[in-house]
Amino acid sequence: MTSVSQILHRTVRKFETRAPLDEGDREALLNLPYELRSISANRYMVREGDRPRGATLILDGLAFRQKVTVEGMRQILSVHIPGDFVDLEGTLLKVADHNVQALTDCEIAIIPREAIIDLVDTHAKVAHAMWVDTLIDSSIYREWIVNVGRRSSRAGLCHLLCEFSRRLEVAGLSEPGGYDLPMTQEQIADALGITPVHVNRVLRELDDEGLIVRNKRAIRVPNWTALRKVAGFNELYLHLDQVRPVAPMAMSVSS
Amino acid sequence: MTSVSQILHRTVRKFETRAPLDEGDREALLNLPYELRSISANRYMVREGDRPRGATLILDGLAFRQKVTVEGMRQILSVHIPGDFVDLEGTLLKVADHNVQALTDCEIAIIPREAIIDLVDTHAKVAHAMWVDTLIDSSIYREWIVNVGRRSSRAGLCHLLCEFSRRLEVAGLSEPGGYDLPMTQEQIADALGITPVHVNRVLRELDDEGLIVRNKRAIRVPNWTALRKVAGFNELYLHLDQVRPVAPMAMSVSS
DNA sequence: CGTTAGGTTGACTTGATTCAACAACAGTGG
DNA sequence: CCACTGTTGTTGAATCAAGTCAACCTAACG
C-alpha cells in the first residue's frame, strides 16, 4: 500500500523538524519493521497495566488516550492523528499507565519494541527527535490540564475545537471548507470532564450564537478569530515552530 | 559545596534507575557546569514565552509549574522537589510554554543550555535517562488531568496529598512522623482547579472526619490506606518500579 | 422492521462559587 | 513595644454552573 510509506515519510519529515537527521537516520526510520493492523472504532490499542510489545503508529483514523477512575468515570487525555506514535512511552517505560482507544476505525503499524530500542540506541538524532516529540505531547497535556481545570465548559469546548483544527491543519489533514469532528458528545464530555448532557447544551448554545454551524458531526466555524477569543486559544503550546506545515492530504474519517 | 554535590549524586542515582549509566556518564553528569542561585518564594524561575538560557535543578525547596488563562485564572500543573529538573524541556524546545514559580524559598543550580545539549549529544545513556524522566513527568500530567477533570474536590485533594507524600518518600525527603505541605490554600485551589474557599471547607471536612489532622500547614495522616481509598490513588502512574527498561532482553518479567 | 447508539430537551438537585465579613498571625516601622 | 498592614485562613448566606434523572426523538443497521 502506498499509504504506509506515505505516512512514514510524513512522520520522518515531522521528526526532521524536531532534530536534524542525516540520510542514515531517515533510512533507519523508513526501514523499521512493522506489522499492519486494522482496529475498529472504540477498540483498545493499549490497556493500562499492559507491557506493550511495540510502538503504534497511526496510519489512518483517530485514536485517544484515556483513564478511568475507580468510580468508573472516564477522562480522555489526548487525541491523536495519523502520523502520531501513540505509545512510544510504552516502549521505554515498563508498563502502560493509561489506555489507548481507537476513536474511529484505524489503520495502524505496530513496530516491535526491540526495533525501537535498537533504533534509539544506534541513532542518537532520531532518539532526540522522538524525545522532542514526547516533550511537545507533554506541553499539550499541560494545556489540557488548564482546559479542564480553569476554563468554563464553553471556553473549554471552543479550545478543543481550536486545538484539533489547528493540529489537523498543520498535519495537512484538514479539508479547507469545514471540519469533521468525529467525536460523540459523550467523548467530548469525557475530554472536558463534564457530562454529555451539558456538552449538548453548550453545543446548541454555540450554534445559536453563530460561533459554530453544525450538520450532524460536521462543524463549520464561520469565524475562527471569534472562536479563538472565546476559547482563549494561544497556540504557543503546540510548538508549531518545531513543526513544518505539510501539504494537505485527504484523511478518511469513517466513524 | 556539599549540598550541591549531595543533590547531584541523588539526581544521578535517580537517573540510574531510568537507564543504566557507566562511569563516564556519571562523571559527565557530576561535572556539569552550573551557577548557583537563591530564589525566594513566589518568584519566577521561568516565564511563558522565555527562551531559557539553561536548565534548572532544584537543590533545596519546592517549585511548581503553572499557566494563567486570559481571564487571569491560574492553574498549577505540577509540583517539584529537590533533585528535579524543572525545565529540561526549555532546553530542547525553543520557548517556554508555561511558568515555573518557587513554592518556597529555593536554592537552584542553573546549567547552561549548551552544556546540556553537549551532554545529551555525547552521552546517549544520559539522554535516555533524561528522556525517561520526562516521560514519567508526562504520566504525572496525565494523572493530573484525571484529578481535575473527573475527581470530586474531596478525592482530588486526597489524591494530591497521596502523590506528594509518596514522591517525597521515594526521594528520601519525608519526615517519618508527619508531613508538611507548604502550600497555601490558594495554591492547593489552583492545583485542583477550584476556589480557595472551597479548599478550606474540604480540608475542614476531612479534618472533621479524621482522615487528616492539621496543625497550621502541617498535615498528619493517621491512616494512609483510608486516604488512598478516598483518593482512588493507584501509584502505577509514578512508575516507581522504573529500572533498566532499555536492555534488549528486558522482555523477561521481573516484577 | 425492531433494536440500538447517539442526540435533545425539560424539571429538579447539588457541588462549588461568589461575596462579604472577620480572625489569626507575621512583618514593619514609628 | 504597640499600632499598622498585608497575607492567609475561616465561616455564613445567596447564587449559579453543571449534574442528574427521565422522557423522547432520530438515524443507522442487521
Residue ranges of A 176-195 with Cβ closer than 8 A to chain B:
192-193
Helix/strand/coil for A249: coil
Q: What angle do CA A243, A245, A251 make, to 5 degrees?
A: 115
pLDDT at residue number A241: 79
Q: CA-CA distance, A110 to A157, in Å (whole number)?
A: 32
Cell triple for residue B196? Answer: 480557595
Distance between the alpha carbon (CA) of B169 and the C1' atom of C27, Å: 34
pLDDT in tens, A60-79: 999 999 999 999 999 999 99
Task: Tell me the residue type at A159.
Answer: H
Across chain A, mean pLDDT equals: 91
Q: What angle do CA B101, B9, B237 make, to 5 degrees?
A: 60
Q: CA-CA distance, B132 to B193, in Å (whole number)?
A: 28
pLDDT at A16 over 80: yes
CB of A103 closer than 8 Å to CB of A187: yes
Q: Tell me, yes or no, if A143 comes closer than 8 A to chain B by beta carbon.
A: yes
Lowest mean pLDDT, pick from A173-182, B106-115, B123-132: A173-182
Helix/strand/coil for A63: strand
Q: CA-CA distance, B203 to A148, in Å (whole number)?
A: 22
pLDDT at residue number A215: 87
Query: CB–CB of A89 and B138 under 8 A?
Result: yes
Q: CA-CA distance, A187 to B109, in Å (whole number)?
A: 43
Lowest mean pLDDT, pick from A53-57, A153-157, A243-247, B200-204: A243-247
pLDDT at residue number A178: 66
Lowest mean pLDDT, pick from B154-163, B172-181, B204-213, B237-246: B237-246
pLDDT at residue number A243: 58
C-alpha distance across the termini of chain B, in Å = 39
Q: Tell me, yes or no, if A197 comes closer than 8 A to chain B by beta carbon.
A: no
Task: Tell me the residue type at B39.
Answer: I
Check residues B77 and A248 and name the one with the higher pLDDT.
Answer: B77
Q: What angle do CA B184, B188, B192 make, to 5 degrees?
A: 165
Q: B215: pLDDT confidence band, cut at 50, 70 and 90? A: confident
Query: CB–CB of A120 and B143 under 8 A?
Result: no
Q: B247: pLDDT confidence band, cut at 50, 70 and 90? A: very low
The residue-averaged pLDDT of B47-55 equals: 93
**How far does the CA of residue A4 sit from the closest CA of chain B (Å)?**
27
pLDDT at A110 over 90: yes
pLDDT at residue number B253: 33
Residue A131: list chain B partners with CB under 8 A.
92, 127, 130-131, 134
pLDDT at B190 over 80: yes
Going by the DSSP 8-state scheme, the letter that residue A104 receives in this structure is S
pLDDT at residue number A176: 67
Query: CB–CB of B132 and A73 under 8 A?
Result: no
Q: A244: pLDDT confidence band, cut at 50, 70 and 90? A: low
Question: Residue B128: closest CA among chain A residues belongs to which residue?
Answer: A127
Residue B55: list chain A partners with CB under 8 A.
none
The residue-averaged pLDDT of B74-97 equals: 94
The residue-averaged pLDDT of A99-126 equals: 95
pLDDT in tens, B15-31: 999 999 999 999 999 99
pLDDT at residue number A5: 84
Q: CA-CA distance, B226 to B236, in Å (whole number)?
A: 18
B window 163-182: Cβ near strand C (< 7 A): none
Query: CB–CB of B75 and A138 under 8 A?
Result: no
C-alpha distance across the termini of chain A, in Å = 22
A window 174-233: Cβ near strand C (< 7 A): 184-186, 196-197, 200-201, 203-204, 214, 217
Q: Tell me, yes or no, if A73 comes closer than 8 A to chain B by beta carbon.
A: yes
Across chain B, mean pLDDT equals: 90
Query: DSSP of B189-250, one letter per residue?
Result: HHHHTS-HHHHHHHHHHHHHHTS-EEETTEEE-S-HHHHHHHHT--GGGG-TT------TTT
Q: In sequence order, which residues have a C-beta less than 8 Å from that of residue A173 and are 6 or more positions away?
A: A81, A82, A248, A249, A251
Q: B255: pLDDT confidence band, cut at 50, 70 and 90? A: very low
The residue-averaged pLDDT of B178-189 equals: 90
Query: Nearest-CA neighbor of B51 among B135, B113, B5, B108?
Result: B113
pLDDT at residue number A175: 73
pTM: 0.93
Distance between the alpha carbon (CA) of B182 and the C1' atom of C1, Å: 66
pLDDT at B249 over 50: no
Helix/strand/coil for A113: helix
Residue A55 burial (CB < 10 Å; 0-12/13-18/19+)?
Answer: buried
Q: Strands, E, within A74-193: which ranges? A: 74-80, 99-102, 106-112
Please check whether strand D approaches the CB of A185 to within 7 Å: no
pLDDT at residue number B179: 78
pLDDT at residue number A253: 44
Distance between the alpha carbon (CA) of A197 and the C1' atom of C12, Å: 15
Residue B217 burial (CB < 10 Å; 0-12/13-18/19+)?
Answer: exposed
pLDDT in tens, A118-157: 999 999 999 999 999 999 999 999 999 999 999 999 999 9
Q: A249: pLDDT confidence band, cut at 50, 70 and 90? A: low
Q: Tell me, yes or no, if B145 comes closer than 8 A to chain A by beta carbon.
A: yes
**How far does the CA of residue A3 sit from the closest CA of chain B (Å)?**
30
- The residue assigned the cell 536548565 is B55
pLDDT in tens, A215-236: 888 899 999 999 999 999 999 9
